[in-house]
Amino acid sequence: MKMVFIKFKPDGKEYGFGVPEDYKGSAGLKSGSWVRVPVPGCRKKMLRVVVRVAETATPPEGLKMIGYSGRQIAQTANKKARRAAHQGGIIYLAKKAKAEKRAMLGGRPIDLAWEAEKAAWIEDDLDIEPYLAKGYNTDEGLPKLTELRLGMRMGFDESSYDDPTLPLHIIRKRRVHQLRDWAREQGLLPPMYYEDPVHGIDKEQLRELLIGIANGIMPDTYGLKLIKLHKCGPRVLREMRLCREAGMTGKEIRPYWALGVKKLQEVRTAFLAEKETDGGQ
């Protein structure tokens, strides 16, 4: 009979355990292998490293065996039985709904998302066909195409992240860094907090400013001097950007930025309502 010996402590005593005849991987057991052995005071068998392997003709009495305990085997069998019983039931339907959700992108079906993205490329006067031929024509490639388009419409060289095999977060990170460096060169960003502890902005404020720049809304049009933008929290900067996208000027935003997010939302809503009324007349 084959036996394995393990130590519960680095310099402790060796303890022997038997290897069942039907144990999978029995032939590959050697010093350094991991096996499940019974541990005193524990219902489940725990993984331990084998110190050595030996053969014995007469195994000692009360020899304990390696492998899964009867309790663990029963639990696994119960899980499989429950899983089989739920096919077509609540769990099955939940998994099906989750799979259907994966076929959505931004709350829209994939086919509609593709139509919207292709229309955006045409609107930005860009040719999407060469990039589809490169391998971006998959559902995973759709958000990557969006990142390429956002960089290209700013006139940037996308060669550093034009690779369909790159993960989406890497492509987005490189595009954002490219946008950040360009904005700094143009003098469109205030200093960071580590460059100017008094007037510097943090990462969340920088993120909101870069979103505005990517959409064509420059920070120097928010109604405040760049050096004072550190006084606006990220949510306030977001509302100021939305006000600019709605058509408000910096002069119209300036009196309300210090009054908080809710006030900016009210002002933007009133502006859009008045704009719609004027348009209807």
Q: What is the pTM of this model?
A: 0.56
Query: What's the pLDDT score for residue 101?
Result: 62
CA–CA gap between residue 143 and residue 162 (Å, rounded): 13
Query: What's the pLDDT score for residue 60?
Result: 83
CA–CA gap between residue 14 and residue 136 (Å, rounded): 58
Query: Could you report the per-residue pLDDT of 75-130, keeping only the tens digit for each?
Result: 677 777 766 666 556 666 666 666 666 555 555 577 788 888 899 999 989 999 99
Q: What percentage of residues in the chain have a pLDDT greater than 90?
A: 27
Three state DSSP letters for 219-273: HHHCCCCHHHHHHCCHHHHHHHHHHHHHCCCHHHHHHHHHHCHHHHHHHHHHHHH
**Structure-model confidence comparison of residues 217 and 74, the more confident one:** 217
Burial (CB < 10 A; 0-12, 13-18, 19+), residue 149, is buried
Average pLDDT of every residue of the chain = 84
CA–CA gap between residue 232 and residue 257 (Å, rounded): 8
CA–CA gap between residue 228 and residue 218 (Å, rounded): 15
Query: What's the pLDDT score for residue 236?
Result: 92
pLDDT class of 56 with cuts at 50, 70, 90? confident
How many helices and strands (H and E) does the chain possess? 10, 6
Region 166-189: mean pLDDT is 91
Determine how many CB atoms are found less than 10 A away from the CB of residue 157. Answer: 10
Please answer whether residues 148 and 158 qualify as being in contact, where contact means their C-beta atoms are separated by less than 8 angstroms.
yes
Determine how many CB atoms are found less than 10 A away from the CB of residue 19. Answer: 19
Helix (H) or strand (E) holding 36: strand 34-37
Tokens of 243: 């006000």
Q: What percentage of residues in the chain have a pLDDT greater than 70?
A: 87
CA–CA gap between residue 150 and residue 44 (Å, rounded): 54
Q: Which long-range contacts (CB under 8 A, 24 or more apart) does 216-224 make?
A: 217/241, 217/244, 217/245, 218/188, 219/188, 219/189, 219/190, 220/188, 221/249, 221/250, 222/250, 222/253, 222/257, 223/249, 223/250, 223/251, 223/252, 223/253, 223/254, 223/257, 224/250, 224/254, 224/257
Query: Could you report the per-residue pLDDT of 28-53, keeping only the tens digit for each?
Result: 888 888 888 888 777 777 888 888 98
Return the sign of the alpha-carbon dihedral for residues 190, 192, 193, 198.
negative
